[in-house]
Structure formats: C-alpha cells, structure tokens
Amino acid sequence: MPELPEVEVTRRSFAPSIAGARILSAHLGKPLRWPLGLAPQALVGRRVLAVRRRGKYLLVDLSEGLLLLHLGMSGSLRFAPAEGLPAAGPHDHFDLVTTQGVLRLHDPRRFGAVVYAPQGEEDPVARKLLGKLGMEPLEESFAPAAFYQGLQASRTPIKLLLLGGKLVVGVGNIYASEVLFTAGISPLAPANSIGPRRARRLYEAIRSVLAAAVEQGGTTLKDFSNAYGMPGHFQLQAQVYDREGLPCTRCAAPLRRVLQGQRSTFYCSYCQKL
C-alpha cells in the first residue's frame, strides 16, 4: 500500500497530535518483520517528541531512543483516543498507548516493522536500515546534477534503479511506472543512456508526481487512508499502473505490462522512449 506519499500523508495526519505525549503502555501482537528490540513495557514513561520520515520509514523520536516504523506492503497506522477504540483485531500488531491517544499499527501481511533504536539515528540498528538510503525527492537537497550523476553511474534499467532506493528514496512500484510515463522514458532504458535533458525531465516528474500525491492526501488506488481513516482524494488517477491493455491517455495505444525484477511495470511503448 504505502509509498512515500502515503507514508508522508500518514505522518502529517498524526504527528502534531502525538507530539508531547507520554507513553502509558505498549503492546505487541504477532511478530512483525523484525523484533522490537526491547520489552514494550520499557517504553512506559517516555515522551514522544516528534515524528519524522526517512524514505518509507517513520522515525518516532522519544525522550530516550527512537522507534522506526515501516508499513511494508499492507501496513497502516491509526491514531485515536483510547476511549472508544476497538479492541486490537487479529491484524493489529502494535499499540502505543499515550496520554494523547493510541497509535495502532494494522498490518495483515506483517512485512512491516517496529524497531527500537536506543541511540537514535546513530544507533547501529538505525544505521543498518537507513544508512544506504538515497536522496529525499521532496527535499531541497535533491539536486538535478546529483541525480544525473547517479543515473550516469549505473547501467541498470531505470525502473529498477528508481525502485532500488539507493539513488532516490520513496519511489515504489506504482509511482515508478507513473513517473516514467510522465517523463516519457521507457522503464527498460539503461540509466546511463538517459541524457541530461531527459534526466532533468525525470527529476521534475519525480518531484511533481510525488508532491501532487502528497497534496491530494495519498493516492487511493485500493484502500489507503491516513491515521484518522480519511481516504485520499482520488484525483490522482494512475495513468499507467494496473492498466495493461487499456488505451494510453496520450496516444490511445494499448498499455503494456512487463516484469522487471519479478515485479510488474506498466508503460506505453510509443510515448516512452528507450
């Protein structure tokens, strides 16, 4: 479900509400991708200072240490008052009960994770997860020149390079297809075959597509909603994702699907050049 825009929309929806809260208790459900790394009771009494994002990770700064949250493929967060909150269901695997509400992770497939890093971002645990991440596409630090250099340094097909997250983070399988369609570049094009002009178009496409998705409250392709259960606005219709055989919105040719790294890529073989 969640790519960068969805994670960011989730973050914005509850970060102000939880900031300053004191942790009253914490509860684990079934095992997630990785163990939490400490007994949940040990979190009691700490304060939640802020919620930040790095790539698709949410970083919950505590008065001591840091929680790294990842939503995996099927995860979602809710933040609600303890009163009236339903009992944890079979797919609710983490509850952080605070003085200002309960943060609950719901994740049927359990590819998500909640990991405690005692030393914050400098912690070995955090470094292992965050250390190799690429540039943040919506930050000022995401520079066209650095992006172009990154493309030149790899022969990998551009779709796979974008998905890999080592050059730029947060572009998941849906937005990778969408961004390449917007830029008019074939997903099969070797990254280093993309010249400066097209690299610049791709750079702009990444920024504009992701920023628009955040503005719209996250793309609602299936069932995304923020931490208050509010869905995205549906304005951002996918141009190519999951539209195999349907007409291209620009040239009406049937859109294609190919497998890259065992994952589906959708594109228009006429509008998107190698």
Partner DNA sequence: CTCACGCCCTGCGCGC
Partner DNA sequence: TGCGCGCAGGGCGTGA
Residues of 157-170 as b/e, b for ≥16 C-beta within 10 angstroms?
bbbbbbbbbebbbb
Q: How far apart are CA 46 and CA 98, in angstroms?
A: 10
Residue 4: enclosing H or E segment and its boundaries? helix 4-18
- What residues make contact with DNA under the rule CB under 7 A? 1-3, 6, 30-31, 33, 55-56, 70, 72-74, 90-91, 108-111, 129, 154-157, 160, 163, 165, 172-174, 219, 221-224, 261-264
Nearest residue (CB) to DNA, 69 versus 96: 69
With the C-alpha atoms ordered 88, 92, 94, 99, is the resulting torsion angle positive or negative? negative
Q: In whole angstroms, how close is the CB of 111 to DNA at the nearest point?
A: 4
Point out the catalytic residue in the list 53, 56, 104, 110: 56
Residue 127: enclosing H or E segment and its boundaries? helix 124-130
Q: In whole angstroms, how close is the CB of 130 to DNA at the nearest point?
A: 8
Active site residue 128: no
Q: In whole angstroms, how close is the CB of 28 to DNA at the nearest point?
A: 14
Nearest residue (CB) to DNA, 70 versus 78: 70
Indicate the pairing of strand 113-117 with strand 66-70. antiparallel
Cα distances (Å, whole numbers) of residue 177 to 148, 156, 238, 256: 19, 16, 9, 11
User: Any known ligand binding at 109?
Assistant: yes
Nearest residue (CB) to DNA, 47 versus 166: 166
Point out the catalytic residue in the list 3, 6, 8, 178: 3
Q: How far apart are CA 39 and CA 43, in angstroms?
A: 8
Per-residue tokens: 115: 């990991």
The 3 state secondary structure assigned to 139-204 is CCCCCHHHHHHHHHCCCCEHHHHHHHCCCECCCCHHHHHHHHHHHCECCCCEHHHCCHHHHHHHHH
Active site residue 56: yes
User: Any known ligand binding at 78?
Assistant: no
Nearest residue (CB) to DNA, 43 versus 162: 162
Nearest residue (CB) to DNA, 157 versus 187: 157
- List, as residue ranges, the binding site: 91, 109
- List, as residue ranges, the binding site for DNA: 91, 109
Annotated catalytic sites, by residue? 2-3, 56, 263
